[in-house]
Amino acid sequence: MDDSTRSFWATWHDAYDDPGSDLSERLIAVQRRLSDAIDEAPPAAVRVISACAGQGHDVIGVLKTHPRASDVHALLVESDDHNVRVARARIAAAGITGVDVLQADAGVTGPYRDAVPAHVLMLCGIFGNVSDEDLRRTVSNASMLCAPRATVLWTRHRRDPDRSSEVREWFAEAGFAEFAFDSPGPDRFALGALRLAVPPLPYVSDLRLFTFRAWPPPEVAPGI
């Protein structure tokens, strides 16, 4: 498939091919936190949900070598058809089992009904691409996708306006305890790692959490 037929959200992933890009650096950080979360999950099955999973670089990259890969049951939810095909091909090439890629709108709770409650919830590549209202709604309701004591990983760019402080406060208000915050500095990226410290909200299958903004031509960089 040539670039002219690939969506904006497909070509956006090309930055992973540049080891010096912010996206590549963020990926390394996310993979490290995901690997640790799987290590620390309870014995037996580990349920992982990745919302707006893209091509699955983070989850697939970790499970290719993780000693508990056979314990993981992961759901990757992604709407872009090209990214879904790439993710499925990468899973097959890696010989990984227990990972499903669902082509669906990750902004509503319905697609997650068979994967909840998750021990690890990944909200990466979302918060810089939605309204502040949607961002707060997603944070406030994130626990309904979680098991007790679940780990949540989130990312957002730190360009103006830098919302990282607000996001951290909103997660605290929602009952999550932050145990790590990774960022190379202003104008780069933020990665938060949290643990659910209160009982999760009851799962609701038809709640709209967020809607991705429509983006202009690729010369305008989206939030990550």
Number of domains, the chain: 1
Token pair, residue 90, equals 């990468």
Distance CA 31, CA 63 (A): 10
Tens digits of residue pLDDT in 136-174: 999 999 999 999 999 999 999 999 999 999 999 999 999
Instruction: Write the CATH number for 14.
Output: 3.40.50.150
User: Is 131 within the bounds of a domain?
Assistant: yes
Query: Which helix (DSSP H) or strand (DSSP E) does residue 37 occupy?
Result: helix 22-40
Query: pLDDT tens digits, residue range 33-65?
Result: 999 999 999 888 999 999 999 999 999 999 999
pLDDT, average across residues 3-22: 59
* Domain housing 165: 3-196
C-alpha to C-alpha distance for 49 and 143, rounded to whole angstroms: 12
Q: Which DSSP state fits 1?
A: -
186: burial class by Cβ within 10 Å (0-12, 13-18, 19+)? Answer: exposed
Question: What is the model's pTM?
Answer: 0.91
